[in-house]
Structure 1
Amino acid sequence: MNLHVAGIETEAGTAGFICRATDGLWTAIERALDNGYGLVFVTNGDGEAIGRLTLQDLRQALRDGVHLGHASLGEIVRPGSLDDTDSPVAPVLDERRRIVGIEKRPDAIFLPVAEPDLSHAELRNLMDAFLSTWISSTGEYITRFESSFAARTGMSHGVATSNGTVSLHLALAALGISPGDEVIVPDLTFAASANVVIHLGATPVLVDVDPLTWCITPEAIERAITPRTRAVMPVHVFGRPAPMTEIRDLALRHGLFVVEDCAEAHGAAYDGQPVGSFSDVASFSFFANKIVTTGEGGICVTGNADLARRMRMLRDHGMRPERRYWHEEAGYNFRMTNLQASIGCAQLERMDGFLAMRRRVHEGYEAALRHLPGIAFPPPMPARYEPVTWFSCALVPAQARPQLIEACRQANIDLRPFFHGLSSMPAYRRYARKCPHSERLSACGINLPTSRKVDTQTITRIAEIFAGVLTGNGGRSEAE
């Protein structure tokens, strides 16, 4: 039997949701992770559906030690659980209660704007790292993740850190950025980009972004250079690469360091070269909403072996690796754990799939929303730019944005506004400059849910909500 109904997976799509009553706990855990919905349906020997198990159920069973007694899923499944109305998916049953399809229920649960995409691969790596007992900042996964991620970015050295913010901090500290120095930073970026400059006693010089790329430009950088400028920090915002060939050439002419903030742009490229490979040091974040995640985590990548050694020393309390407990400088504890890196290794192997999924989601939004009044998507970039989708995002009328966010919240859907331009916030008032493009994007930008749970049915619901709000308030977009 094959079903062809909107929101229903046919027989071919059901396998990842079904476990047999005789299966063990770990089979259900891995399958619930892999299908992305966090649950499985349990069938008996005749193929009859007898109940469902969620990851919450399976976590409780694991804590209770159910696996120690060789219990099967049939012994722990809850009778009547197939009828739970809060399930994000439900089985489609034939007359013999065999599962012949899976019905998606996107309105049954809260849809976050982002969530980590975890599978059996991350779980197996994590368990392996745990069982190795190397759970702190030393272990085979650390070295594997550092070398693999550096190679992916075209750099020869990777220095993993505890989060993306400290990787930026480490990069600037290793380059000697200190009080009296200036670092040029785009106004449209997350606060961490400026914070690390301030924490080192230096001055962030905020500049406006380009309305086409949403990134810093060589022209804006050149206008901001003073005798105190030591570095420039281009940010590849929302997966959109800055023009790095020109920025790198400009920095070389002026004797400036380049520190790329690639937190939102894993896999993007410019002139056929990966972002992260144009700089003295590049920083990536692996927070849970990033394209590749380790929960928390970050990395510095560089082509300079001496700089990599210095970053490793500073990362580990300023201690010489060949002379334990001998501190050359007052360093930091910025280390990533082997447990985090084990997750990162699995994520990196799945990265191309993540990028393809995010691209499909964004294309779906564009097709469904672009005809609505006041909606504008990120402008197409010239051929030299190869952006990726971090969050799928759009520009909407500023006055309608709160209504759109609230209307979607009422429908159990999470939307997020763009972050505020740095010049608009009290923490950066002393560094503020007039940045009209950053100000406009901050006022109009909205991030849409971007995960593998977002399907055609979900996009259609969001489009209907947007249409209801935007056709009701009239007017044209500030983004147009």
Structure 2
Amino acid sequence: MIPLCIPEIRGNEWKYVKDCIDTSWVSSVGSYVDLFEEKFAEYVNGQKAVVTMNGTAALQLALVTLGIGEEDEVIVPSMTFISPINTIKYVGATPVFCDCCRDTFVMDAEKIEELITPKTKVIMPVHIYGHPVDMDKVMEIAAKYNLYVIEDATESLGSTYKGRMTGTIGHIGAYSFNGNKLITTGAGGMLVTNDLELGNRAKYLSNQTKTILDNKGCYHEEMGYNFRMPNLLAAFGVAQLENIVEYIKAKRKNAAYYNELLKDIKGITLSGEREWAENCYWLYSILVEDDYRLSRDELMAKLEEEGIQTRPFFMAVHEMPPYKECKHGNMSVTKELCSRGINLPSSVSLTKEQIETVCNVIKKYSK
């Protein structure tokens, strides 16, 4: 089996985790928690990083930190993992769905403004599969209407927009360290902001709003959340972060080889990379068009028969039962992408021979 995307563990993971165990600092307090936040903020060039138990928690924490709640609306793409949409509901707000770009698969920034109402408080671009949203346009609209921007960068760690790391351009960014992400802590996430006041507020909220009194008692001024990451996982993350540059190089090299082998196959459309973007290619993605011999699902079945694991694009969330009543614009591109898109094997450890195997199967069934 050629897996879709598995973690790469090649550095100091065992050493740092063992240090946690040897010193008994295994829970949510410990030196690796602070070090992971510090090193991560340094890597993405952000002012403040706050570790969380997963990417979903980082997104919810971002919304809570900004005071988003009942009666508020958040503009978000429909073609995404459901996590960002769920977090909007967690805080009592309402998602409003925006269509996507056909070439990059991300939220179409040109279609945001038509969805804004007096209730709109946040734009939440999702840098799906690694490609950045057009953040200049997003920030221009946000400034015009006095809106917050929360970047869902859970799939785009290492991607850049005009030289800036995704997740650091809006008011707050959120990242994920799930097992299939570019770097992993098994489970975990990170909130990042360049606004120190927001960052300190997020850290306070994530730790049950705990204040330690002189007598060592715990005092809580307001309701908080237990979104903390254990020191064990943070230690793993510090080790992973040490190799992130090499991981991104491998991902981009693999994507370039896919592009070379697939570019001339009739009926297969490759993902685009805008001139202002550098995609980390968390997952390498293609579209199966009408002039390919097989449908998208038929091709996936053939790949599976050959021992190649793939995944269809995320289904449109606005068509799912919990969100069918939510407002949205014209979703024609989203609908098309969801029916045509395939994610191909994208592990850091993917070999040229494995890429050739995948591409040969795709080529075999072309017209």
On whether the aligned pair clears a TM of 0.5, the verdict is yes
Find the partner of 1:414 among 295, 309, 316. 309
SS in 2 for 1:361: helix
**Is residue 260–residue 279 contact of structure 1 (8 Å, CA) maintained in 2?**
yes
Task: Give the match for residue 272 of structure 2.
Answer: 379
Which residue number in structure 1 is paired with residue 297 of structure 2? Answer: 402
For residue 430 of structure 1, give the secondary structure of its aligned residue in structure 2: coil
Residues 1:400 and 1:321: Cα distance change in structure 2 (over 3 Å)? farther
1: distance between equivalents of 2:141 and 2:34?
34
Distance 1:236 1:149 in 2: 19
Find out whether 1:458 has 2:354 as its counterpart: yes
Corresponding letter in the other structure for 1:396: V
Among 32, 37, 42, the alignment partner of 1:141 is 32
Question: What is the DSSP-based 3-state SS (H/G/I as helix, E as strand, rest coil) of the residue aligned with 2:360?
Answer: helix
Take 1:336 and 1:201, find their aligned partners in 2: how far apart are those partners?
25
- Greater displacement, 193-202 / 118-127: 118-127
Return the match for 1:336 from 213, 229, 236: 229
Of 258, 280, 287 in structure 2, the residue corresponding to residue 388 of structure 1 is: 280
Task: Measure the CA separation in 2 of the matches of 1:362 and 1:409.
Answer: 20
Residue 129 to residue 266, structure 1, CA distance change in 2 (3 Å): same
Contact map agreement 2:109 2:133 (CA 8 A) in 1 = no
2:100 pairs with 1:201: no
**1:263–1:327: structure 2 CA closer, same or farther, 3 Å change rule?**
same
Cross-structure match for 1:191: 82
**Conservation of the 8 A alpha-carbon contact between 2:207 and 2:228:** yes
* Cα pair 2:179 2:186 within 8 Å, conserved: yes
Is contact 2:110–2:137 with CA below 8 Å preserved after alignment? no
The normalised TM-score by structure 2 is 0.94
Q: Deviations over 1:157-179 (max 9, x none)?
A: 11100000010000001110011
CA–CA distance in 2 between the matches of 1:454 and 1:122?
21
Q: CA deviation at 1:321?
A: 5.3
1:339 CA displacement: 0.8
Is residue 2:56 matched to residue 1:161? no
Deviation at 1:432, TM superposition (A): 5.2
Matching of residue 126 in structure 1 with residue 17 in structure 2: yes
Deviations 1:332-367 (A, max 9, x none): 111111111111111111001000111111112122
Letter in 2 for 1:348: L
Task: Select 1:298's aligned residue among 174, 189, 196.
Answer: 189
Q: 1:457 to 1:299 in 2, by over 3 A?
A: same
**C-alpha displacement of 1:421:** 1.6
How high is the TM-score relative to the length of structure 1?
0.72
Instruction: Classify 1:324/1:160 alpha carbon distance in 2 versus 1 (closer, same or farther; 3 Å).
Output: farther
Shift of 1:420: 0.7
The answer for the alignment partner of 2:122 in structure 1 is: 231
For 2:245, the equivalent position in structure 1 comes to 352
Segments of 5+ residues of structure 1 without an aligned counterpart are 1-109, 472-480
Question: What letter corresponds to residue 325 of structure 2 in structure 1?
Answer: R
Whole-Å separation in 1 of the counterparts to 2:366 and 2:264: 11
Question: CA offset at residue 248 of structure 1?
Answer: 1.6
Match of 2:150 in 1: 259
Instruction: Give structure 2 stretches of 5+ with no counterpart.
Output: none
- One-letter amino acid matched to 2:154: A
Q: Which has the higher contact order (CA 8 A, sep 6+)?
A: 2
Deviations 1:401-456 (A, max 9, x none): 22222222222221111111222222211115331111111111111111244222
Q: Which moved more, 1:292-301 or 1:462-471?
A: 462-471
Q: Which residue of 2 aligns with 1:171?
A: 62
Checking the alignment, whether the CA contact within 8 Å between 2:273 and 2:279 is kept in structure 1 is no
Deviations 1:198-247 (A, max 9, x none): 11110001111122332224432211111011111011111111121231
Could you say which structure has the larger radius of gyration? 1
Aligned pairs, how many? 361
User: Does the CA contact (< 8 Å) of 1:313 and 1:321 recur in 2?
Assistant: no
What is the one-letter code of the residue matched to 2:149?
V
Cα deviation for residue 324 of structure 1 reads: 4.5
The 1:253–1:452 alpha-carbon spacing in structure 2 relative to 1, beyond 3 Å, is closer
Matched, 1:470 2:362: no
Contact 2:11/2:239 (8 A) holds in 1: no
Distance 2:14 2:93 in 1: 42
Which residue is 1:426 aligned to?
321
Q: Distance in 1 between matches of 2:17 and 2:303?
A: 35
* 8 A contact 1:147–1:156 mirrored in 2: no
Contact 1:357 1:452 in 2 (8 A): yes
| Contact 2:97 2:327 survives alignment (8 Å) | yes
Contact 1:171–1:300 (Cα < 8 Å) also in 2: yes
Does structure 2 retain, via aligned residues, the 8 Å contact 1:423–1:435?
no
- One-letter identity of the residue aligned with 2:278: E
